[in-house]
Structure formats: C-alpha cells, structure tokens
Amino acid sequence: MTKRSANDPKPTSAEKYFSMNKGADIPWKRLSAEAAAIVGSILLAFWIDAWWDDQSDARQERALLGALLQDFETAKDEFGKTRAGHNKVFSSMEKILYWAEAGSVEEDEQAEVDVVLSNVFYRNTFDPPMGAVDTILASGRLDLLSNTTLVTELTRWKSLVEDLNEREAAAANHFYQTVYPYLSTKLNLQDLDKDIPYPGGAPWPQQPANAYLLVSDRDFHNAIYVHWVLYWNVQTRLPTIADALDRIAGLTALELSGG
C-alpha cells in the first residue's frame, strides 16, 4: 500500500469512515428497512394529501350543485312570469294587426282596442340569478363538476340568456323610440291604462281612448308591425330557454342525488 505524500489531498469523509470501520459488517438490512420506512412515510403523506384534496373537491362540488339547483329553480319561476308577459304583448299585437289589416273595428270591439293596446306597454326582461354559474365559470375550476354534460350546458346557458336579453332590449328600444312617441301624439295615454289593477281604481277619471280610430292609420300599422317582428324574435328563443332550464335543473338534481 502506497503512502500519501505531504502534497496529497486530505482523505475524504468516506475514506475516514471505511478506515475506521475496516473489517466491520455494514448493517444492510437495517439500512434498507429504514430507507423503506422513509419512502413509505413519504408515499403515505402524498396519499393523505391527495385523499384530502379529493374530499375537499367533493365538498365543493356538492356545495356548487346545491347553489346551482337553487338558482335554476328560481330561474324557472322567473322565466314562467317573463314568458307569460311576452306572450301577452305578442298576442295583443297580433290582434291589433288583425284589426289593422281589416281597416276597421266592429262597434262591440272598439272598447277592447284600448285594453289590448295598453298591453303593448308591458316590458318584460328575463333576469335569472347567475351567481352560481358566474362563480363556476370565473373560478376556472370547471373540473369540480364531474358531469361533463352539465358543464357544457352551463357554459351555453350564459350565452342563451345574453342572446334573449339582446332581443328583449331591441324590442324595448323600438317601443320607446317609435311606438310610444307615436301614441303620445295620437291618444291620451292615461286613458289606455284600463287593464292595470290600481288599488281603489285609477287615480284619474278615465275616458275612452278611442284607440280603434288608429287601425286605419298606416303609420300606426307599420309601427306595430315592426314591434311585432322584434317580439317574434324574442318568442323564437323562449322554447330554447325553457328546454335549457329543464335540462340543467334535472342534471343538477340528479348529480345531487348521486344518480
């Protein structure tokens, strides 16, 4: 064995250890068991962490599903009222257009024209609660919902509502910019409010508005026709909204029940 010279580097820690324990047995079994125990504890920690995350995600999913179901049950009620209002305006305009096409109104229907025309003044906008949907979409955690069909429906729902609201706004703008100004120059508008249930009656003496005289006016006919077209655009979206409401509420309830 060669000796180190004075210029040789100092022995390493490993060299010192083996020189001190030369001839001693290395406890490989104990070292292996300790290593296995360390690896096992690390894997167990990872498993516990993953299990806890899964439990947390499951609780979050259930909370979101509960909020979604509540919002969509409320939305179904609100939609029923909005749809009834839209139908009332739409059917009233169809009756007015029928009279306008005829060019005259039978005497026994003349008073009815006042009531029917007053229905056109109703404004309806579907404004469903969007808190739960907005929370899910803004969080970026769509993966919290395990039902991919429900996720697809929710992302589509927001655009459906926005599209309907744009159509409702177009009809409202036409009413305020065209129909209302026209009628305000032709009729005493206070006398049109016969279908409004004022407590104790109207706060002013109401006279016949004689709106039937307008049915032969081409400007009146055109204004109501354009308004009818804009409301027809609204009407075409209502079945789609109704179907989406039923699907989302049904899927959400099914997920909550564990189905």
CA distances from 73 to 105, 157, 175, 255 (A): 44, 14, 31, 15
pLDDT at 103: 87
Q: Which of 59, 255, 50 is nearest to 146 (CA)?
A: 255
pTM score, two decimals? 0.74
pLDDT for position 52: 39
Query: Model confidence at 38, in pLDDT bands (50, 70, 90)?
Result: low
Q: What is the percentage of the chain residues whose pLDDT exceeds 70?
A: 71
pLDDT tens digits, 218-243: 999 999 999 999 999 999 999 999 99
Least confident of 64-68, 164-168, 185-189, 248-252: 64-68
Q: At a CB cut-off of 8 Å and minimum separation 6, what does 234 contact?
A: 86, 90, 164, 167, 168, 171
Q: Which residue reads 């292996």 in tokens?
A: 32
| Stronger pLDDT, 193 or 76, i.e. the higher one | 76
Calpha distance 244→123 (Å, rounded): 23
Using CA atoms, how far apart are residues 178 and 11, in angstroms rounded to an integer? Answer: 99
- What is the average per-residue pLDDT within 61-78? 88
Q: In the block, which residue shows the tokens 């993966």?
A: 143
Please give the pLDDT value at position 35: 58
pLDDT one-digit tens code per residue, 187-202: 988 887 666 666 666 6
Residue 28 pLDDT more than 90?
A: no
Q: Has residue 183 got a pLDDT over 80?
A: yes
Cα first-last separation, the chain = 79
Dig out the tokens for 130 from the structure: 């969007």
Q: What is the mean pLDDT of the chain?
A: 81
pLDDT digits (tens, 9 = 90+) for 154-169: 889 999 999 999 999 9
Q: Give the residue-averaged pLDDT of 200-222.
A: 85
Q: Which residue has the tokens 């979604």?
A: 68
